[in-house]
Structure 1
Amino acid sequence: MPDGDRVALERLIAGDVRALTAASDEIGHSFSARHGLTANDFRALLHVTVSEDDGDPLTAGELRTRMGTSGAAITYLVERMLESGHVLRDSDPSDRRKVLLRVAEHGKGVAREFFGPLAEHTHRALAELPDGDLEAAHRVMTALVKAMSEFGEQLNRD
């Protein structure tokens, strides 16, 4: 494949990522509005959910770092999320002194109700694609998440 074709493909993928981010942001805004969450509440809930799904739940301090907020601001945010029933505190089974943030059953139910139809749309959109394409797409998405995470870490260091 000529280098120009590769550059063009990478540009197309970068454009797709921007479009996906914009569509995701729109959906997140709708979710937040329907459930009385601020933009930061939604961001926090997303971080807690992703980390828990990855098997590495966050502490409030780790959430503070990811959100780039003060300790007081994250305490207030976490308390709001606890009161709304979206998250809960849980002791780390390997270190009882460590407190982890997890998505509460109420938060999971609200997310299932709202995002279930998105899963159906996604399933229909992907139904005609062969498994090999989906495997390749997963590899691409994994590489993009890694690149974006590394860039985010670099921005936080600078």
Structure 2
Amino acid sequence: MPTPTDPEVPPGVVLLEAAHELLTAETLLSNRVRARLGLRAADYQALQLIAAAEQSDIPARAKDVSTALGVTAAAATIVADRLVQKDLIVRAQDPDDRRNRTLTLTDTARAALRDAFGSFPDEVQDRLNRVPDSEIAAIRALASDVREILDRTAR
């Protein structure tokens, strides 16, 4: 991979290659975890969303899965059904809105995710925690700008 000091390679190319390297690593990890858990891609994405919501103490609902996956409410329900059948999530009535159901991980799912990821999240989090605030702000701004451009031009 070219270095940022290579005068013949534009900095944007170096940044895109670095982003691609991170994306590839995340994809490979996700594929290994998905295979280990016996999940389809959409099911694994939904499980990740539900786990992240739980980590943030935010209830996850089928409509959140629908939005995150870009699928219909019916498709999100089918994904949730498969996760319930595998004893990875449970549905419960939303205490704030009786028309909705919340989706939460089961102990089986928590144990499976812990086992599948091992110490990975802690090691990555430790490394990320060493990134200076100024660099985090620059990365966030860049990611936001690129996403906005892609959203605007990908229509």
Question: What is the TM-score with the length of structure 2 in the denominator?
Answer: 0.72
Give the CA RMSD over aligned residues.
Answer: 3.4
Equivalent residue letter for 1:52: E
Equivalent residue letter for 2:47: L
Equivalent residue letter for 1:19: E
Match of 2:92 among 76, 79, 90: 90
Q: Secondary structure at the match of 1:73?
A: helix
Where structure 2 has 5 or more consecutive residues not aligned to the other structure, the ranges are: 1-9
How far apart, in 1, do the equivalents of 2:38 and 2:71 lie? 21
> Which residue is 1:135 aligned to?
133
Q: How does 1:27-46 map to 2 (within 5 A)?
A: 27-46=29-48
> Which residue is 1:5 aligned to?
none
Higher-helix-fraction structure: 1
How far apart, in 1, do the equivalents of 2:149 and 2:105 lie? 27
Q: Structure 2 vs 1, CA of residues 94 and 34 (structure 1 numbering), >3 Å: closer, same or farther?
A: same
Question: What is the percent sequence identity of the aligned residues?
Answer: 23
How far apart, in 1, do the equivalents of 2:49 and 2:34 lie? 15
Shift of 1:151: 6.5
How far apart, in 1, do the equivalents of 2:147 and 2:121 lie? 25
Q: Secondary structure at the match of 2:98?
A: strand
Shift of 1:112: 1.2
Deviates more, 1:138-147 or 1:14-23: 138-147
Q: Structure 2 vs 1, CA of residues 81 and 140 (structure 1 numbering), >3 Å: closer, same or farther?
A: farther
Shift of 1:10: 5.5
> Which residue is 1:3 aligned to?
none
Q: Secondary structure at the match of 1:32?
A: helix
Q: Structure 2 vs 1, CA of residues 110 and 142 (structure 1 numbering), >3 Å: closer, same or farther?
A: farther
Alignment: residue pair count: 148
Match of 1:48 among 38, 47, 50: 50
